Amino acid sequence: MKSVLVYIADDSGLEARLQAGLDLTRSLGGHLHCLRVNPYNPQMAFDGVTGMSVMYDIGKLSREQDAQLRASIEKKLAGEDVPWEYREENAEASRGLSKNSALVDIIVLSSASGDDDTGLPLGILGDVLHNVTAPVVVQPNAVKKFDACGSALVAWNGSFEAGNALRAAVPLLKMASDVQILTVEEDKGHDLPPLVAS
């Protein structure tokens, strides 16, 4: 586990996501991949005369905002002690993140837990969770660090989803100072046995 992907967007969770990504990258001795995914950079649009003008204006404003965000992130990362790269992609956020997840080991997203959040970050999180195989760190906006060597809690219900999540998290769990297992009993008939600490 070496490649950490962080979603870059100018929202209330950006600072927490970026710091968690940096902390994870340091702990793993890895590489940080910052991905700015923006659907508002149309290359060409046809919607009558006025529609074309509006799309051009939106695209121009979006490119200006992207340039400011990139400059801010690159300035911040220049002082960090991890290798990093910054990429931009013209796509809807969850689709772009899912597409770029194929070659990364872990993804850092927000939990949409801040006071200023709308439903958009939560929608991105749900879509990405259903479309990627890489583990996802869901970072609360108010938590500005990620201690990979701290205590870890594994929630287990015997489902294949829980099994897949546990298997993907093994490299992180190996670094944890303590691992607790919480077994959640459900009325559903899951096939996997209860976990027992060893």
pLDDT given for residue 119 in this prediction:
44
Task: Output the CATH code of domain 3-144.
Answer: 3.40.50.620
pLDDT given for residue 129 in this prediction:
84
Domain locations along the chain:
3-144, 149-198
pLDDT given for residue 26 in this prediction:
95
pLDDT given for residue 81 in this prediction:
92
pTM comes to: 0.80
Which stretches of the chain drop beneath a pLDDT of 70?
A: 40-59, 112-122, 188-198
pLDDT given for residue 22 in this prediction:
96
Three-state DSSP string of the chain: CCEEEEEECCCCCHHHHHHHHHHHHHHHCCEEEEEEECCCCCCCCCCHHHHHHHHHHHHHHHHHHHHHHHHHHHHHHHCCCCCEEEEEECCCHHHHHHHCCCCCCEEEEECCCCCCCCHHHHHHHHHHHHHCCCCEEEECCCCCCCCCCCEEEEEECCCHHHHHHHHHHHHHHHHCCEEEEEECCCCCCCCCCCCCCC
Q: Which of these, 6, 31, 14, lies nearest to 137 by C-alpha position?
A: 6
pLDDT given for residue 50 in this prediction:
52
